[in-house]
Structure 1
Amino acid sequence: MAATTAGHKAELTRLDREIGDGDHGENLARGFHAVLAKLAGTEPATPGAVLQLVATTLISTVGGASGPLLGTAFLRAGSSLGGATEIDGPMVATALEAARDGVVARGKAEPGDKTMVDALAPAAAAARAAADGGADLVGVLAAASEAATAGAAATSPLQARKGRASYLGERSVGHVDPGARSTAFLLESLARRAAERAAATDQDHDQDPAG
């Protein structure tokens, strides 16, 4: 996530400059860089604890509405995992649903308002459908990522009804929402990393004579 936000900082800044205050890319890159620093100095015991550390760090380092909203998303997702030490597909779906519900409650936004919810809501729905269909963790994250990317792109023709972009009225039409786009980037990075880890594990098994 840190590498992804840093790599797309310029794009997210451009998108935010068009309908916001132009600091979304910089804020996210700074926030996730701070997350890396925090993780380097501690060893959270569970995946849920990792997500909660991410949440508190983003809340304290990311400016504007993004910090509290992303922080709430990670906090709710982490809480949904409880003390589990392993994550499977259904748990990912539950975590994304919790993240979506947290963002909706905090930001009072619904799908169609041209916010990060337009990426997060379809991602959560796709993750649940994939999990219910028997997909593993990699498959669930891939479905969520694909849905988030499509959801973010679909914000372009929408008129913003929440946040700073809503002040532009009809002038917000024709621009992709930066929060939805960054949400899609974050889920894309998770899906890619999960697929890479699964492929590496399969390769290790293939190379193990005992396997």
Structure 2
Amino acid sequence: MSTEELQAWLRRFAELVHEHKDELTALDSAIGDADHGANLDRGMTAVLAALEEAPPADAAALLKKTGATLVSKVGGASGPLYGTLFLRMAGADTFPAALRAGYEGVLARGKAEPGDKTMVDALGPACDALDAGRSVAEAAQAAAEGRDATVPLVARKGRASYLGERSAGHADPGATSTALLLQAAAETLS
């Protein structure tokens, strides 16, 4: 993973989050606390500013700075979970290995499992696709399918779990933003 490719990925993710901010917030208002889009948009704006202010020396430094910025700037569950994702990614050499390390970090931090109606439901299938040797575009498709699979689920983690059966019928906001993360990767990483 080159630093340039990763920066392009993060820029594209920030653009997609900004474009879909209202959609993410609407999803979160249905089953959460209506701040996912705004929080993640603010966080990614801060990430881009931090990377511009002090360009990282290498890919690991870039991922660490991204994770630390998200942890410090984003409230709710998104900051710690996305921050952990990027911080854990920093220790790997390839994108598949990095994403898998990030996924393991999210599992440990959030204590969620597949089927709990969280970002894990999009991130896990993307990792599985990459582990099977599939392309980043195919991993992005797997993430989108994982996001879509959250619609009928009843949430078992996070604020959405307080709604019980009423959480069914809505895509999970975290799975939706994770699908955007993988879409950005498919558009920018070779």
Does TM, scored on the shorter chain, surpass 0.5?
yes
1:62-141 counterparts in 2 under 5 A? 62-81=74-93, 91-130=94-133, 139=135, 141=136
Aligned residue number for residue 188 of structure 2: 193
In the alignment, is residue 142 of structure 1 matched against residue 144 of structure 2? no
Unaligned runs of 5+ in 1: 82-90, 132-138, 199-211
Per mean C-alpha deviation after superposition, the further-off stretch among 45-54 and 168-177 is: 45-54
- Greater relative contact order (Cα 8 A, min sep 6): structure 1 or 2? 2
Secondary structure at 2:49's aligned position in 1? helix
Residues in 2 aligned to 1:193 and 1:93: alpha-carbon distance in whole angstroms: 15
| Contiguous gaps of at least 5 residues in structure 2 | 1-12
- Deviation, 1:42, is 1.3
Cα distance in 2 for partners of 1:47, 1:65 equals 25
* TM-score (structure 1 length as normaliser): 0.82
1:159-202 deviations in whole A, cap 9, x for unaligned? 000000000000001110000000000110121122xxx6xxxx
- Cα offsets for 1:129-173 (capped at 9, x unmatched): 126xxxxxxx3x212211101000100010000000000000001
TM-superposed CA distance for 1:43, in Å, is 1.9
- Does 2:34 correspond to 1:22? yes
Match of 2:45 in 1: 33
Whole-Å Cα distance in 2 between the matches of residues 59 and 143 of structure 1? 29
For 1:128 and 1:45, locate their aligned partners in 2 and report how far apart those are by CA, in whole Å. 28
3-state secondary structure, aligned to 2:54:
coil
Q: Match of 2:161?
A: 166
Please say which structure displays the higher CA radius of gyration.
1
CA RMSD, Structure 1 to Structure 2 (Å): 1.0
Conserved in 2, the CA contact under 8 Å of 1:130 and 1:143? no
* Aligned-partner Cα distance in 1 for 2:99–2:138: 12
Give me the whole-angstrom Cα distance separating, in 1, the residues matched to 2:98 and 2:137: 15
1:53-64 → structure 2 map (5 Å cutoff): 53-64=65-76
CA-CA distance at 1:53 after TM superposition: 0.6
**Other-structure match for 2:7:** none
In structure 2, how many angstroms separate the alpha carbons of the residues matched to 1:6 and 1:116? 18
Instruction: List structure 1 runs of 4+ shifted beyond 4 angstroms.
Output: none
| TM-score normalised by L of structure 2 | 0.91
> How far is the alpha carbon of 1:80 from its aligned partner?
2.1
- How big is each residue's C-alpha offset from its partner over 1:27-71, in whole Å with a ceiling of 9 and x where there is no partner? 000000001100111121111211111000000111101100100
The sequence identity of aligned pairs, in percent, is: 57
> What is the number of equivalent residue pairs in this alignment?
178
1:124 partner amino acid: C
The question of whether the paired residues in 2 share the 8 Å contact of 1:5 and 1:182 is answered with yes
